């Protein structure tokens, strides 16, 4: 299952990420998804923080997230990620969160992003797409 | 504009909500949207925390969020919300985040939720829909 | 009581700030305290984000926090703040969090901060102390 | 160095934990410290979430934290922890955060905690201290 993804990252739920329902708060899954994307970028030699310092801002323009099963205290899970281009300036990250115990699909998301230059216009840095697609 | 919504809630960006890009982090908008939903529920006499203690869990099953313009340090904004039923067990919150300065639409979201009983099955508490639709 | 402070700021607990104990998570009180400090600075004409862009970093060097009573879902509270200088380069914020209902002291903290210049050395911008002490 | 501690836990900074200064936000270090404490408890056979469900609430009553050097995007670090009893009902966690690169001490903290029973009174569950001190 794991090897169906271009990239995976292991996590464990931290208690402060759970809310008063005793399960991981909805917003926190976006943190997990973002961290997995940034680690994927790093693995491809693209450093999000460095780009930001160079005034190239990678931004999310749309998120679609299906919450299927909640994660809770102590759960081990991984985020799987596939990267593709939607068009010339937008990329898609298809991401899933799997709980290890029982191999349960917890969250499924599609995150659309782009890069903005210093003037706030979409502009993909030269070579970025090739780097991420290798 | 404000009165096109069934409910609105005023906010101000807090600096700790901004990330290293100097703008509000993507996940934080879900916090804003959630808080606005819970305040809408309260205004209708429905207390999220009380329901949780009664083992009725209001949960999000899907979120679609379009990020149009970022909020940043010091921004005043409001969340507007419209509630409707999608089918017998699922409700929709159509929510928008407007920055006050320049009346800019920053985020547009559609959050689909349901209620789960103690056995983890969708079950809307009697009277809840009527209460929220008044 | 409120007027014993140089500055106060009103808040309401948001449900996502509560953890699996059903009360506000310990780390979140630091968010509240920080936001109150930054709003105090703004009220004195000092913009934390602007200073950051000018490479003047206001930083916390020590925090002492006593947790007396927890806040929980729905609580209205305020943060009271007094500012003073500890020595030539360090300032102190004595801050308290009071729940409105029953006027309960929930948290008491002393936050020591300084300003760092672009080379990472403590250096208070000229006029800052006077501005904050007015 | 690592083996001077009763327990250590490895971490990596996640970009969403950094604020507009480009460094880890002050409140986030409390998250790190809390997660390390809960993993220490687990390693000793004590499950924080389970205790909570049994209405035994482990709570922090005081935190003293010295911020020495900031962590930033991409940093690998570990939290070291020593546990001891302050008196019959209060325990202390002496915790430090070390950045791996250059073995830099970033944060030093002393967190005082206790256990509260269902009536909100300090009461350490029988056997807990022995379990944690082994």
Phi and psi for D24 in degrees, rounded to 5? -60, 130
**Beta-carbon separation of C14 and B35 below 8 A:** yes
Which pLDDT does position B1 carry in this prediction?
Answer: 46
Point out the residue among A15, A34, A47 whose CB comes nearest to the CB of D38: A15
Q: For the stretch C72-103, what's the b/e string if a residue is b when 16 or more beta carbons lie within 10 angstroms of its beta carbon?
A: bbbbebbbbbebeeeeebebbbbbbbbbeeee
Give tens-digit pLDDT for C25-59: 999 999 999 999 999 999 999 999 999 999 999 99
Active-site option among A10, A19, A47, A66: A19
Interface mutation vs chain D, best among B19, B70, B73, most D CBs within 10 Å = B19
Which pLDDT does position D52 carry in this prediction?
Answer: 92
**Per residue of chain B (134 residues), what is the pLDDT tens digit?**
455 899 999 999 999 999 999 999 999 999 999 999 999 999 999 999 999 999 999 999 999 999 999 999 999 999 999 999 999 999 999 999 999 999 999 999 999 999 998 888 888 988 999 999 98
Query: For the sheet containing B7-12, what is the strand order?
Result: A7-12, A76-85, A91-99, A104-116, A57-67, B57-67, B104-116, B91-99, B76-85, B7-12
**Beta-carbon separation of A27 and B34 below 8 A:** yes
* CA C105 to chain CA mean position, Å: 16
The interface predicted TM-score of the complex, written ipTM, equals 0.95
**Beta-carbon separation of B22 and D20 below 8 A:** yes
What is the spatial distance between Cα A46 and Cα A39, in angstroms, rounded to a whole number?
9
pTM of the entire predicted model: 0.96
- Which is nearest to B33 in space by CA: B72, B74, B73, B65? B65
What is the spatial distance between Cα C89 and Cα C85, in angstroms, rounded to a whole number?
8
**Beta-carbon separation of D15 and A49 below 8 A:** yes
Which pLDDT does position B3 carry in this prediction?
Answer: 59
Return the DSSP state at B2: G
- Which is nearest to D13 in space by CA: C98, A49, B75? A49
Active-site option among B4, B10, B15, B19: B19
Q: What is the 3-state secondary structure (H, E, C) of chain A?
A: CHHHCCEEEEEECCHHHECCCCEECHHHHHHHHHHHHHHHHHHCCCCHHHHHHCCCEEEEEEEEEEECCCCECCCEEEEEEEEEECCCCCEEEEEEEEECCCCEEEEEEEEEEEEECCCCCECCCCCHHHHHHC
> Residue A77: pLDDT above 70?
yes
Which pLDDT does position A1 carry in this prediction?
Answer: 46
Could you tell me the pLDDT band of residue C3, with boundaries at 50, 70 and 90? low
What is the spatial distance between Cα B9 and Cα A131, in angstroms, rounded to a whole number?
43
Which pLDDT does position A3 carry in this prediction?
Answer: 59
Point out the residue among B18, B20, B25 whose CB comes nearest to the CB of D73: B20
- Dihedral angle at the C-alpha atoms of A35, A41, A42, A46, nearest 10 degrees? -130
């Amino acid at each position: 299952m794991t090897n169906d993804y271009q990239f995976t990252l292991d996590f464990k739920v931290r208690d402060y990420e759970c809310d008063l329902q005793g399960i991981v708060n909805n917003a926190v899954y976006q943190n997990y998804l973002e961290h997995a994307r940034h680690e994927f970028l790093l693995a491809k030699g693209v450093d999000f923080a460095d780009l930001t310092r160079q005034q190239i801002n990678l931004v999310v323009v749309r998120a679609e997230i299906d919450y299927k099963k909640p994660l809770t205290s102590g759960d081990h899970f991984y985020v799987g990620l596939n990267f593709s281009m939607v068009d010339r300036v937008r990329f898609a990250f298809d991401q899933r969160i799997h709980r290890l115990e029982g191999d349960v699909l917890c969250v499924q998301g599609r995150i659309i992003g782009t890069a903005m230059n210093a003037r706030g216009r979409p502009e993909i840095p030269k070579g970025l797409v090739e780097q991420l697609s290798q």
